[in-house]
Amino acid sequence: MPLSTISLHDKQFTPYLPAARIAEAVRNIATRLNQDYAGQQPLFVVVLNGSFMFAADLMKEMSIDCEVAFIRVASYQGTTSTGEVKEILGLQEEVANRHLIIVEDIVDTGHTMRELLEQLTARKPASLEVATLFTKPECLQHQLELRYVGIELPNEFIVGYGLDYDGLGRNYPDVYKVV
């Protein structure tokens, strides 16, 4: 069935990335993680709310022993980043000397990721990497090493597959861009 335009709040969104393309990107990230962390039992630190679909699909593809923890941060209001990171729900697991992989839906400005990397580095993990489904390289305002990236995107606001516009749109299996 062809995808159609959707309306969320006051904006229109057109089809952008089909679920099949997203699934391929998730499998590619999982393949690399399975190879790179074989025998190491990493802790995946999932950033809520946007990463829930990506994290669930990624975990289904993991063949290594691993654990999952969740944190929640916020830096968006409407369609733009506020530039201010607020930790809402913190990480309770001990992370010192553990291999950590931050699972993020999208890295655009890099404000949230920079803050997370700083906070987690202070807890002295054995290693710390980022697995992000999407990144917008032209939006990055911080030097970040993103080792596991699914899809690089231009600077367009997107919803679907966990990403939202003021709370709506997370439930779509495909990704849509604002008109």
Burial class (CB in 10 A: 0-12, 13-18, 19+), 140: middle
What's the pLDDT score for residue 85?
65
For 143-167, give one letter per residue: b (16+ CB within 10 A) or e.
Answer: eeebebbbbebeeebbbbbbbbbee
Cβ atoms of residues 129 and 100 within 8 Å:
yes
Residue range 61-76: average pLDDT?
87
What's the pLDDT score for residue 92?
87
119 pLDDT tier (thresholds 50, 70, 90): confident
What's the pLDDT score for residue 111?
87
How many other C-beta atoms are found inside a 10 Å radius of the C-beta of residue 32? 13
Contacts with 126 (C-beta within 8 Å, 6 or more apart), sequence order: 97, 98, 99
Residue range 20-167 in CATH 3.40.50.2020:
yes
How many other C-beta atoms are found inside a 10 Å radius of the C-beta of residue 48? 17
Tens digits of residue pLDDT in 12-25: 999 999 999 999 99
What's the pLDDT score for residue 73?
78
90 pLDDT tier (thresholds 50, 70, 90): confident
Q: Which two tokens mark 157?
A: 């606001």
Whether pLDDT at 83 is above 70: no
Query: Which residues does the annotation mark as catalytic?
Result: 108
Tens digits of residue pLDDT in 142-155: 999 999 999 999 99
At 3, is the secondary structure helix, strand, or coil? coil
What's the pLDDT score for residue 77?
57
Domain spans, the chain: 20-167
At 43, is the secondary structure helix, strand, or coil? strand
What's the pLDDT score for residue 78?
56
Which ranges in 62-170 belong to alpha helices (H)? 111-121
Whether pLDDT at 96 is above 70: yes
How much is the pTM?
A: 0.91
Whether pLDDT at 82 is above 70: no
- Distance between CA atoms of residues 152 and 149, nearest Å: 7
Name the β-bridge partners of 71.
47
What's the pLDDT score for residue 1?
54
What's the pLDDT score for residue 89?
67
What's the pLDDT score for residue 72?
86
- Distance between CA atoms of residues 171 and 107, nearest Å: 20
